[in-house]
């Protein structure tokens, strides 16, 4: 190979450089909770808007130029394509920077990465969605995907919980699903009243004053926001799951939430008769590259970014107790 061959080769590779993000524009911002915000965004290059395809459960690497990159799932459904959505909690450097952005700001996006939920497997099954906190984001993409093809699936049950009424995400979705007679929604909070304010949300409360209010849209007046105790149960998600006791017959449980919730949910499902193959989860790990190179997101020999983030419990059972 001569030097000029190599230069040619590089030109080609440079154009398909997997690490180069697309420029995206933020179209709308929704405050979900004091520390969680949903962003509606779209490709700046309009040609790419139609070319782009993804599946529920896949994620992307979002960057604020000069600050860094972080992975989040695409929280909108591939069946609703006028824009894309992602939701994030402000917890670190990149998420803080994202929260400081307003409508019209540009972010970098590369993806979609990962495997997505196995829709083939889910068809014709009864689905039990178990979500906690911001873990509803990936589930939400799948739920809307399923609801937009309602006749292909059996019974649908959604068990969702958060720390307090104010920490419930996607209240407008919870309301909409609650209105849907074909869906059974159970919402729970760890504690009903006298919400202990987390340090994060206190910082947020201070910071949001600096934001221009008109560019953002509040979550609206949800019935859940009034903390109506008839609609809200009290207790941890795994506990409520045990009480609701969905049948494992022809069912698949899809679980997403903080690691601690995931760890406690699997035993409950096992007790209810779900086999490891019937339990599906989507995991979160610290990631940098998103494409199985940088090394940090492994659970055993599995890379969450490359082989996941969606796994059946059967796949990760061996490692989950000590590595997740």
Partner 1 sequence: MSIEYRVSSFEEYRGGRREASKLKTQNSKLVRKKDIGSVLHQWSKDYTIFVPCNEGDTAFTVHGSRLTVYGLWDGSDINLDWYRNTVTPPKANFLPPLEEMFRFQKGKEGHSMELPFEPGVWSLESGVPLPQLIFGIRPCDARALSLLDLIFTDAYQDPYYLPRREGAVLVGLVCLNPYDSCFCTSLGIGPGESDDVDLLLTDIGDEFLIEEISDKGKRLMELTAGLKDATEDDTARANEAKEKAYGRVTRKINTEGIKDRLLSAFEDEHYWEKVAAKCIACGICTFLCPTCYCFDISDEMVKKQGARFRCWDSCAFALYTKMPMENPREEKWQRVRQKVCHKFEFYPMTFDVIACTGCGRCIRLCPVNWDITQTLRLLD
Partner 2 sequence: MNSDHKMQQKLRHEAKALLEQDKVDLIIGFEAGSLKFTTTPLITKSKDDLDRLVINPFIVNNLALFLPDFKGRIAVASKGCDSRSIVSLIQDNKVSRDDLVIIGIPCPGMIELRKVEKLTGKDRDELDDIIREGDKVVITVDGKGSEFPIAEVLSDNCLACEFPTPQDYDILLGEPTATSQESRVKSRESRVKGQGSRVQSHGEGGGLQSEASPDSRLQTLKAMSPQQRWEFWRKEFSRCIRCYACRNICPSCFCKRCFVEESEPRWLMPMPRWQENLMFQAIRNIHLAGRCTDCGGCERSCPVNIPLRCLTKEMYDLVDELFHFKAGMDKDAPPLMTHYEQEEAEDLIR
Q: Select from partner 2, partner 1, none the partner in contact with residue 194, using the beta carbon and a kind-dependent cut-off of 5 to 8 Å.
A: none
Closer to partner 1 by CB, 113 or 266: give it: 113
Q: Select from partner 1, partner 2, none the partner in contact with residue 110, using the beta carbon and a kind-dependent cut-off of 5 to 8 Å.
A: partner 1
Closer to partner 1 by CB, 52 or 172: give it: 52
Backbone angles phi, psi at 318, to 5 degrees: -60, -30
Cβ–Cβ < 8 Å for 205, 34: yes
Q: Select from partner 2, partner 1, none the partner in contact with residue 237, using the beta carbon and a kind-dependent cut-off of 5 to 8 Å.
A: none
Q: Select from partner 1, partner 2, none the partner in contact with residue 322, using the beta carbon and a kind-dependent cut-off of 5 to 8 Å.
A: partner 1
Q: Select from partner 2, partner 1, none the partner in contact with residue 96, using the beta carbon and a kind-dependent cut-off of 5 to 8 Å.
A: partner 2
Which of 58, 92, 62, 91 lies closest to 75 in space, CA to CA?
A: 58
Burial status of residue 303 (CB atoms within 10 A of its CB: 0-12, 13-18, 19 or more): buried
> Which residues fall within 8 angstroms of residue 131, CB to CB, at 6 or more apart?
139, 158, 159, 160, 161, 237, 255, 256, 257
**Footprint of partner 1 (CB under 8 A):** 1-3, 6-7, 9-10, 13-14, 16-21, 23, 44, 63-69, 91-92, 95, 106, 108, 110-113, 258-260, 284-286, 288-289, 291-301, 306, 318-319, 321-324
Least distance to partner 2 from the beta carbon of 321, Å?
24
Q: Which of 45, 65, 92, 243 binds partner 2 (CB under 8 A)?
A: 92
Closer to partner 2 by CB, 67 or 103: give it: 67
Closer to partner 2 by CB, 81 or 93: give it: 93
Q: Which of 9, 93, 202, 296 binds partner 2 (CB under 8 A)?
A: 93
Least distance to partner 1 from the beta carbon of 120, Å?
16
Least distance to partner 1 from the beta carbon of 71, Å?
11
Burial status of residue 286 (CB atoms within 10 A of its CB: 0-12, 13-18, 19 or more): exposed
Which residues in the 130-149 window bind partner 2 by CB under 8 A? none
Cβ–Cβ < 8 Å for 86, 170: no
Which of 162, 143, 159 lies closest to 89 in space, CA to CA?
A: 162
What is the side-by-side strand order in the sheet with 156-162? 232-234, 183-189, 156-162, 126-132, 251-256, 279-282, 310-312
Q: Which of 44, 96, 223, 292 binds partner 2 (CB under 8 A)?
A: 96
Report the interface residues with partner 2, using CB under 8 A. Answer: 92-93, 96
């Amino acid at each position: 190979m001569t030097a000029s061959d190599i230069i040619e080769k590089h030109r080609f590779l440079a154009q398909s450089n997997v690490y180069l993000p697309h420029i995206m524009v933020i179209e709308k911002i929704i405050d979900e909770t004091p520390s969680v915000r949903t962003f509606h965004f779209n490709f700046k290059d309009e040609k790419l808007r139609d070319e782009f395809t993804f599946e529920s459960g896949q994620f992307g690497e979002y960057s604020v130029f000069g600050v860094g990159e972080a992975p989040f799932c695409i929280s909108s459904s591939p069946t609703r394509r006028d824009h894309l959505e992602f939701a994030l909690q402000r917890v670190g450097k990149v998420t803080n920077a994202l929260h400081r952005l307003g409508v019209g700001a540009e972010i970098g996006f590369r993806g979609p990465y990962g495997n997505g939920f196995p829709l083939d497997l889910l068809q014709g099954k009864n689905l039990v969605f178990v979500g906690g906190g911001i873990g509803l984001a990936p589930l939400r993409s799948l739920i809307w995907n399923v609801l937009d093809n309602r006749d292909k699936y059996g019974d649908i049950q959604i068990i969702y919980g958060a720390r307090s009424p104010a920490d419930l995400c996607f209240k407008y979705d919870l309301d909409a699903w609650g209105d849907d007679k074909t869906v059974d929604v159970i919402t729970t909070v760890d504690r009903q009243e006298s919400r202990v304010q987390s340090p994060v949300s206190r910082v947020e409360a201070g910071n949001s004053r600096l934001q221009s209010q008109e560019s953002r849209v509040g979550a609206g007046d949800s019935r859940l926001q009034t903390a109506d105790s008839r609609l809200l149960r009290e207790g941890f998600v795994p506990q409520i799951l045990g009480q609701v006791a969905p049948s494992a017959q022809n069912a698949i449980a899809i679980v997403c939430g903080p690691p601690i919730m995931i760890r406690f949910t699997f035993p409950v499902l096992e007790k209810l008769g779900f086999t490891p193959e019937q339990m599906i989860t989507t995991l979160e790990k610290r990631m940098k590259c998103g494409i199985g190179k940088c090394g940090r997101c492994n659970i055993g020999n599995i890379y969450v970014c490359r082989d996941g983030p969606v796994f059946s419990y059967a796949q990760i059972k061996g490692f989950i107790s000590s590595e997740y």
